[in-house]
Chain A
């Protein structure tokens, strides 16, 4: 086994997901198959190969730091599940 039910639950927690016991069971089997397949990559010797995270060799894109219009607050808040006209409202943290 590449991955156990406990690991699936642990990783789900890291990702802020809550899985039902049925979901954990189904996902453990599926992830195990996927990770077993992914182990195919170990057939390749990649010693010394620089990882590629971006297909084109683009450098930092700079622009002048000029002030531009931004989204009006009312529009930025319009999709919030809960807001008070000035800010997003969330359950108490402290």
Chain B
């Protein structure tokens, strides 16, 4: 038997059902794994050891009494941007260093109701702004495959924790690729649901029209299981969509006959790392062997996605982050004599440089005289990008491509040049601008041993199709059990 910390959710559930392990066993194994590797990974900002063990004991009692929910007793981590009642929620920022939410995000409430054991809150780029985890005020999480390299971002702590066995699965959020990109870099599965599929209530807002929570897991089936628990309408989020939640695990065993996969040529353009291209092209061949047809597709406005996104997302952020003013929660500079100085000093001390940069870009893009040239223009280009996808899905069922144009890079390598980091988001951003579902599934490794993910995107609310395609790839590639060795340094 595998070590308990390396089990998938579904494998652990099977053992729990047979009575071969208890939730307490699983939780202890995960906590022991954290003790063994966390000083090298830095996947967590806050751990909840004692409460996790209490939850595990309750889960074991529930299972005994026959009242087990679908995640009963499974140790899971949560990105530190989702509010957890009674458990510190920092968003990776000094400004919320001591914030203890008085309520649960709906996603968290659903996980608790399903019996999940919450191990802790995972590391992230500050306010989910970043692609490398380096903007976390608590220091970056590192890539478990090579700890000298970035784990990706912004849900980097979640991806690293899953890859390193520091939880069985995690929940992250994706505004411009923040679930899919770290999943790709850490060799795990990351699913970004359709905008509106999962409630954003209690998700500390970065860019409200783009943010969406979703699972990071060891297997595609686990992603299907978790999505089924967290998806659904929530009266507390008026942008959550009221439509039935299917059984996402039902279609995983189907083959791909009758499906047409679009290969968007702009996603294989100049700048794509040859090893990434080779791994993804191999993945596409494997999907053809599973019965899929392929067709060449053009998404002509892809190259404008980064420019549009880095105006729209900061614009929304500059408004959302106005709430951090030192009044109701968060850090306050107590020396300031006037309200105005208190706002400025509290915010300047509390926010890191990437957050300040985006607040200033966003404020500039929305300011008088520049609104039409920047924010309005970007929102028009957003329409064009959405139209590209609508036309594409008239010709194919899903789009297959790389996730990140390059494998994980070395920590610090892009830290001095924000634009060079923004440009690495080119293949994940259009998806968010159009509100589509997308998944990253492992498809290979670089010569240096760093994971490479394959991205599948589909039309709104077609998560079942994504999962079915990803499951076929996973079954045929047979790399799902490959985990980082994490040899002693």
| Binding partners A and B | yes
Binding site for B on A (CB under 8 A): 3, 7-8, 11-19, 23, 26-27, 30-31, 33-35, 37-38, 40-44, 46, 49-56, 58, 60-61, 63, 71, 75-76, 78-82, 88, 90-93
B127 at the interface (CB under 8 A from A): no
Q: Which residues of B contact A63 (CB under 8 A)?
A: 235
Q: How large is the interface on B (under 10, 10 to 19, 20 to 34, 35 or more residues)?
A: 35 or more
Q: Which residues of B contact A88 (CB under 8 A)?
A: 327-328
Q: Mark B317-339, 1 if CB is under 8 A from A, else 0.
A: 01000100111111110101111
B196 to chain A: closest residue by CB? A56
Nearest-CB distance from A90 to chain B (Å)? 6
Contact B361 A31 (CB under 8 A): yes
Q: Which residues of B contact A44 (CB under 8 A)?
A: 301, 304, 381, 384
Q: Which residues of B contact A53 (CB under 8 A)?
A: 209, 379, 382
Contact A41 B308 (CB under 8 A): yes
Q: Which residues of B contact A37 (CB under 8 A)?
A: 306-307, 310, 419
Q: Which of A31, A43, A91 contacts B338 (CB 8 A)?
A: A91
Contact A16 B419 (CB under 8 A): no
Q: Which residues of A contact B381 (CB under 8 A)?
A: 41, 44, 46
| Contacting residues of chain B (391-428) with chain A, CB-CB under 8 angstroms | 417-419, 422
Contact B103 A17 (CB under 8 A): no
Nearest-CB distance from A74 to chain B (Å)? 9
Known: A54-B209, A81-B330, A93-B339. A14 touches B367 (CB 8 A): yes
Q: Which of A11, A17, A61, A78 contacts B238 (CB 8 A)?
A: A61
Q: Which residues of A contact B357 (CB under 8 A)?
A: 27, 30-31
Contact B196 A34 (CB under 8 A): no
Q: Which residues of B contact A12 (CB under 8 A)?
A: 356, 360
Q: Which residues of B contact A52 (CB under 8 A)?
A: 379-380, 382-383, 386
Q: Which of B209, B361, B382 contacts A34 (CB 8 A)?
A: B361
Nearest-CB distance from A55 to chain B (Å)? 2
Q: Which residues of B contact A60 (CB under 8 A)?
A: 238
Contact B329 A46 (CB under 8 A): no
CA distance A12 to B383 in the complex (A): 30
Q: Which residues of B contact A7 (CB under 8 A)?
A: 364
Contact A11 B360 (CB under 8 A): yes
By DSSP majority rule, is chain A's interface helix, strand, loop, or mixed? loop
B288 at the interface (CB under 8 A from A): no
Nearest-CB distance from A32 to chain B (Å)? 10
A-B contact pairs, 15 of them (CB 8 A): A11-B363, A16-B343, A30-B418, A41-B304, A41-B307, A41-B381, A51-B380, A53-B379, A55-B209, A55-B210, A56-B196, A58-B239, A79-B329, A80-B327, A81-B334
Q: Which residues of A contact B44 (CB under 8 A)?
A: none
Q: Which of A14, A19, A82 contacts B332 (CB 8 A)?
A: A82
Nearest-CB distance from A10 to chain B (Å)? 9
Q: Which of B210, B360, B379 contacts A17 (CB 8 A)?
A: B360
| Contacting residues of chain B (344-394) with chain A, CB-CB under 8 angstroms | 344-345, 347-348, 351, 353, 356-357, 359-361, 363-364, 367, 374, 376-384, 386
Contact A15 B433 (CB under 8 A): no
Q: Which residues of B contact A76 (CB under 8 A)?
A: 102, 328
Q: Which residues of B contact A42 (CB under 8 A)?
A: 377
CA distance A19 to B351 in the complex (A): 11
Known: A46-B381, A53-B379, A80-B329. A19 touches B348 (CB 8 A): yes
